[in-house]
């Protein structure tokens, strides 16, 4: 029986009929899919009718918390995940996670999640507070950027502690790579979730609540989290470089040294200038609910043309690479400014950055002319140009704005066949933006993933002691990668379902024990690390079945963006490429996963083993 962790209610809002209902989820479903990504995916799988496109009203936005979300004893227990049909690929399950305070507020308001269906006929926002919800007019918010929207909505609802998740102009104008920003420094990124929200004319979701999340056994939870926080803060080196706005404080050195900084559409690697001088700007950490790490931060630019500008950034680096280095911009002040601008316009920067970089390269190579670019000269390294292009894209302004709003693959298809060679994408969507050609484990995990950012992280960037990989794997050795993608994918999908930010579990020694024991202590279940990995494996299979039903074939895993298989021109992976090994690796991965080599479908026996026998008939 469930004794804690869940608020036992989800909210269902239909924007077409303006109907608002609450529903309960059966314990059997919760035990199998847990929460966050797992539960959201299950609901999406069951509710999305066949033949529906991502921007049609029938495509739901499913936002779910996990059992550990909103519990301050749990390190970084603040995650909310979103599932929807991926608007950037058009055919895969879209997955997105955010942090900050949104999930804790949602649970505080008495709900484990929100499902938004239908579409309004004029702009609206949703206000969820203390057990109730209402749809409100958002006409005056339409056109505003994400930060402005947050500020205004807080005033409109009269609650300064509310969390607001909002789209910007990019989402309103249904651009590829549009995201949903929340709590200033955070976002539901990837999968074009902002465009799905824009297609519903839903400008924002505001939440506030003060109800405590019940805990089945608080004393047991305290014992577990004491050990967990110790491992995270004292036995795990990546925490040090992430802590207190670490990526800017350490001037990006770690990623640079590993040859992982993407530059000029992957034609350069880890430019020396990038990251330099970041630490001299005024960095103020902005930790999320219950987080001892505090990777996200505000930065005030103290010199140069953007002096005095305050940017609100998250702790990962991909936002900065997509917005700046990918387009050849390396100056720290411009990097901060452009990353923040992407956020305000409502863009996840890897997709829009890849599209801008593609167009610059195509212009240089003569595949685009001034006639195609509304008379603009496209070149690398010009922050003013990148700013103009971001704005043009967000408002679909002119011929070039409309092209940029398509995302890297569709834009390349419009330009020419030749241009497809330079488009950086995974199944049409922007990738997790680092130059992962120097880490084949992560690159392979993304290639066989569904085009939603991070799927299997491999073990060549951060080892996974809980999975029997205590040391880093050789990043340029292909043989161990298929099995590692399977193992790390299982753990990642479990982690993404508990309600904890991944920076508190990824590679942390014993995290698998801590998370499964914490879920047991909070809910009152008996959950082992083996159960946890089985949940992860179940989700990998459910996601695969979803994608197969919407047309995914092995060709989507093998015929990938040529630029990702080009040997880097410099750095640790100079001259090396995954290309000769890829087909064999994909087949080995399918065998390890228990998937059919001809079709890529999970075998019937696999679906039975992971407890998904009910979906066999959907794909066989």
Q: At closest approach, how far in Å is the CB of 501 from ligand SF4?
A: 3
Q: Nearest Cα to 206, choosing from 141, 283, 260, 303?
A: 141
Token digits of residue 84: 């929807």
* Separation of alpha carbons 452 and 48, rounded Å: 18
Query: Which residue lies nearer to ligand SF4 by CB, 241 or 276?
Result: 241
Q: b vs e for 142-163, b when ≥16 Cβ sit within 10 Å of the residue's Cβ?
A: bebbbbebbebbbebbebeebb
**What's the closest the beta carbon of residue 294 comes to ligand SF4, in angstroms?**
5
Token pair, residue 300, equals 């005030």
Which among 86, 85, 112 has a CA at the least distance from the CA of 26? 112
**Whether 119 contacts 477, CB under 8 Å:** no
Per the CB < 8 A criterion, the answer to whether 545 and 615 are in contact is yes
Beta carbon of residue 242, minimum distance to ligand SF4 (angstroms, whole number): 6
Output 243 or 484, the one with its CB closest to ligand SF4: 243
Looking at the Cβ atoms of 60 and 290, the one nearer to ligand SF4 is 290
Burial of 605 (0-12, 13-18, 19+ CB in 10 A): exposed
Place of tokens 């299979």: 541
The nearer residue to ligand SF4, 119 or 291, going by C-beta atoms, is: 291
CB nearer to ligand SF4: give 123 or 294: 294
In sequence order, the β-bridge partners of residue 180 are 188
Tokens of 535: 């949940």
Distance from C-alpha of 211 to C-alpha of 95, rounded to nearest angstrom: 28
Phi, psi of 186 (to 5 degrees): -130, 170
Write out the two tokens for 75: 């390190």
Minimum distance between the CB of residue 163 and ligand SF4, rounded to whole angstroms?
13
State in angstroms the smallest separation of the CB of 504 from ligand SF4.
6
To ligand SF4, the closest distance from the beta carbon of 104 in angstroms equals: 11
Min CB(184)–ligand SF4 separation in Å: 12
Alpha carbons 55 and 190: distance in angstroms, whole number: 15
- Residues near 126 by Cβ (< 8 Å), separated by ≥ 6? 13, 114, 116, 133, 134, 135, 136, 202, 204, 205, 206
Using only C-alpha atoms, what is the Rg of the chain? 22
Nearest CB to ligand SF4, comparing residues 252 and 478: 252
Of residues 42 and 99, the one with the C-beta less far from ligand SF4: 99
Residue closer to ligand SF4, measured from CB, 314 or 516: 314
Query: Which is nearer to ligand SF4, 153 or 295 (by Cβ)?
Result: 295
Minimum CB–partner distance for residue 81 and ligand SF4 (Å): 13
Minimum distance, C-beta of residue 78 to ligand SF4, in the bound complex (Å): 6
Q: Which tokens hold the place of 390?
A: 């971001």
Q: Using CB under 6 A as the criterion, which residues of the chain lie in contact with ligand SF4 when the complex forms?
A: 76, 78, 99, 287-288, 291, 293-296, 315, 501, 503
């Amino acid at each position: 029986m469930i004794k804690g962790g869940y608020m036992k209610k989800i909210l269902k809002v239909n924007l077409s009929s303006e109907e608002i209902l609450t529903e309960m989820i059966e314990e059997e479903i919760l035990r199998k899919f847990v929460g966050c990504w797992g539960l959201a995916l299950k609901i999406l799988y069951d509710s999305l009718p066949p033949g529906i496109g991502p921007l049609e009203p029938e495509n739901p936005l499913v936002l779910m918390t996990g059992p550990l979300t909103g519990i301050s004893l749990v390190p970084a227990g603040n995650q909310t995940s979103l599932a929807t049909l991926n608007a950037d690929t058009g055919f895969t399950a879209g997955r997105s996670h955010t942090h900050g305070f949104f999930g804790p507020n949602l649970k505080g308001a008495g709900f484990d999640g929100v499902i938004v269906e239908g579409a309004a006929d004029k702009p609206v926002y949703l206000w969820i507070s203390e057990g109730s919800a209402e749809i409100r007019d958002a006409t005056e918010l339409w056109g505003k950027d994400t930060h402005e929207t947050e500020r205004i909505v807080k005033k409109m609802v009269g609650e300064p502690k509310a969390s607001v998740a909002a789209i910007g102009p990019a989402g309103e104008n249904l651009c590829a790579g549009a995201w949903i920003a929340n709590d200033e420094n955070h976002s539901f990124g990837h999968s074009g979730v902002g465009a799905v929200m824009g297609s519903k004319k839903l400008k924002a979701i505001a939440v506030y609540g003060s109800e405590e999340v019940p805990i089945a056994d608080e004393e047991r939870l305290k014992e577990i989290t004491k050990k967990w926080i110790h491992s995270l803060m004292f036995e795990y080196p990546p925490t040090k470089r992430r802590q207190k706005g670490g990526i800017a404080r350490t001037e990006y050195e770690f990623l640079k040294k590993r040859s992982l900084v993407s530059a000029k559409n992957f034609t350069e690697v880890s430019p020396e200038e990038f990251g330099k001088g970041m630490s001299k700007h005024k960095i103020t950490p902005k930790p999320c609910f219950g987080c001892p790490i505090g990777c996200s931060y505000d930065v005030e630019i103290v010199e140069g043309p953007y002096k005095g500008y305050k940017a609100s950034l998250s702790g990962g680096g991909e936002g900065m690479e997509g917005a700046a280095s990918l387009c050849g911009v390396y100056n720290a002040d411009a990097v901060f400014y452009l990353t923040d601008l992407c956020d305000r316009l409502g863009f996840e920067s890897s997709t829009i950055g890849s599209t801008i970089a593609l167009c610059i390269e195509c212009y240089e190579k003569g595949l685009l002319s001034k006639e195609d670019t509304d008379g603009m000269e496209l070149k690398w390294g010009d922050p003013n140009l990148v700013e103009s292009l971001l704005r043009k894209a967000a408002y679909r302004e002119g011929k070039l704005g409309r092209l940029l709003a398509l995302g890297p693959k569709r834009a390349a298809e419009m330009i020419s066949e030749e241009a497809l060679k330079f488009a950086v994408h995974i199944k049409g969507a922007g990738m997790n933006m680092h130059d992962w050609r120097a880490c084949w484990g992560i690159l392979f995990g993304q290639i066989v993933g569904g085009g939603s950012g991070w799927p299997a992280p491999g073990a060549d960037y951060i080892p996974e002691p809980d999975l029997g990989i205590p040391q880093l794997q050789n990043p340029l050795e292909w043989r161990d990668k298929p099995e590692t993608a399977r193992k790390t994918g299982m753990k990642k999908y479990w982690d993404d379902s508990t309600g904890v930010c991944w920076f508190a579990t990824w590679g942390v020694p014993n995290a698998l024990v801590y998370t499964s024991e914490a879920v047991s202590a909070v809910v009152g279940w008996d959950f082992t690390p083996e159960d946890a990995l089985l949940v992860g494996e179940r989700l990998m299979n459910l996601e695969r079945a979803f994608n197969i039903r919407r047309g995914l074939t092995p060709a989507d895993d093998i015929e990938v963006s040529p630029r990702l298989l080009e040997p880097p021109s410099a750095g640790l992976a100079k001259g090396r490429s995954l290309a000769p090994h890829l087909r064999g690796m994909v087949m080995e991965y399918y065998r390890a996963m228990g998937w059919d080599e001809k079709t890529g479908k999970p075998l019937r026996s696999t679906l039975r083993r992971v407890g998904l026998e009910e979906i066999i008939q959907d794909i066989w």
